[in-house]
Amino acid sequence: MTRVQLKRRDRLAAKHRSAIARWPSRSGAEFAGEMRGVVRDLEALARELDSSSQDEAERKRTWELVSQARRDLAAAAGREHESGWDGPFGQLRAMYERAVGEGKVPPPRQELLDAVMVRLAPEIAVDSSSESDPGLSRSRLSDLMRSMVHVIADPSEGGPPITPESRAGRVWREIARLKLSLFQETNRPFIGNDEWRMGFDLLLRCSSAGTALYKSRDDDIQVGRHEVEVLRPIARDARLFALRDHLMVCTPALPVSPVVHDPNAVFFAGAERGRQLLSRLCAERGLTLLGHSEPKDPALTRWDHLRACNVAVFDMDGDLASVCYDLGVALTRGKPVIVAAGRGRKLPFDVDVEPVWLDGDAGDSERLATALDSALYGWQRTREGSSVAVTLAHLCEAFRGHADFRVRRLLESLGAETARDAVAARRAVESLLGAVGPKTPEMIFPAWPASYPDPTNRRCFHVTPFGPDWANRTMEVVKAACRRARTEYVRGDRVLDPAILRSIWDNICTATHIVVDLTGLNPNVALELGIARALGRNLLIVTQDASPERYFPAIAKVRMHRYEAIDDHLKTLDDPVSQFLNA
User: Which residue, of 147, 171, 205, is where some domain finishes?
Assistant: 147
User: Residue length, the chain?
Assistant: 583
Among 108-122, 226-240, 537-551, which stretch is predicted with the lowest mean pLDDT? 108-122
Helix (H), strand (E) at residue 10: helix 3-22
Over residues 170-178, mean pLDDT: 92
**CATH number where 396 lies:** 3.40.50.2300
Q: Is residue 158 one of the residues assigned to a domain?
A: no
Domain that holds residue 424: 243-448
Same domain for 77 and 28, yes or no, is: yes
Q: Are residues 390 and 501 in the same domain?
A: no
Least confident range from 294-298, 362-366, 401-405, 445-449: namely 294-298
Which of 101-115, 128-142, 368-382 has the weakest average pLDDT?
128-142
Q: Give the CATH number of the domain where residue 554 resides.
A: 3.40.50.450
| pLDDT range class, residue 134, cuts 50, 70, 90 | very low
The answer to whether 306 touches 298, Cβ cutoff 8 Å, is: no
Report the 10 Å Cβ neighbour count for 366: 10
* pLDDT at residue 483 greater than cutoff 60: yes
434 and 555 within one domain: no
Residues 476 and 381 in one domain: no
Mark whether 406 and 493 lie in a shared domain: no
In a domain, 222, yes or no: no
> Which residues share a beta bridge with 444?
248
Which of 506, 499, 508 is CA-nearest to residue 534? Answer: 508
Q: Last residue of a domain, which of 147, 162, 184?
A: 147
> Would residue 200 count as lying in a domain?
no
Q: Please report whether residue 213 resides in a domain.
A: no
- Of 124, 147, 170, the residue that ends a domain is 147
Question: What distance in Å separates the CA atoms of residue 368 and residue 313, rounded to the nearest whole number?
Answer: 10
* Cα 359 from Cα 340, distance rounded (Å): 11
CA–CA separation, 17 vs 9, rounded Å?
12
Q: For the residues 275-279, what does the mean pLDDT come to?
A: 94
Beta bridge partners of 517: 542
In this prediction, residue 189 carries a pLDDT of 75
| Higher-confidence position of 457 and 149 | 457
Task: Tell me if 201 is assigned to some domain.
Answer: no
pLDDT at 334 over 90: yes
Regarding whether 428 and 483 lie in a shared domain, the answer is: no
Residue 173 domain-assigned? no
pLDDT-derived band at 425, boundaries 50, 70, 90: very high
Please tell me the least confidently modeled range out of 389-393, 456-460, 566-570, 571-575.
Answer: 566-570
Average pLDDT over the chain reads 84
Distance CA 419, CA 244 (A): 11
Answer whether residue 395 is part of any domain. Answer: yes
- Point out the least confidently predicted range of 111-115, 213-217, 486-490: 111-115
**Separation CA 518–CA 223 (nearest Å):** 47
Beta strands in 159-303 (DSSP E): 248-250, 265-269, 288-290
Question: Do 496 and 440 fall within a single domain?
Answer: no
Identify whether 368 is part of a domain.
yes
Is a pLDDT exceeding 50 seen at residue 255? yes
Kindly state whether residues 422 and 517 are assigned to the same domain: no
444 and 473 together in one domain: no
The verdict on 471 and 430 lying in the same domain is no
On whether both 273 and 387 belong to a single domain, the answer is yes
Q: What sign does the CA torsion over 509, 513, 517, 444 have? A: positive
Environment class of 545 (CB within 10 Å of its CB; exposed 0-12, middle 13-18, buried 19+) = middle
Alpha carbons 230 and 214: distance in angstroms, whole number: 13
What are the distances in angstroms from CA 4 to CA 54, 177, 247, 517? 15, 47, 56, 83
Average pLDDT over residues 122-136: 47
CA end-to-end span of the chain, whole Å? 81
Which residue has better confidence, 82 or 520?
Answer: 520
pLDDT, greater one: 325 or 117:
325
DSSP 126-160: --TT--S-HHHHHHHHHHHHHTTHHHHHS---SSP
Predicted confidence at residue 24, as pLDDT, reads: 83
Q: Looking at the structure, do residues 419 and 537 belong to the same domain, yes or no?
A: no
User: Residue 389: how many CB atoms within 10 A of its CB?
Assistant: 17
Amino acid making up residue 290: L
pLDDT interval class at 136 (50, 70, 90): very low
68, 74, 79, 82 alpha-carbon torsion, rounded to 10°: -40
Domain count, the chain: 3
The pLDDT of residue 475 is 93
Mean pLDDT of 24-30: 82
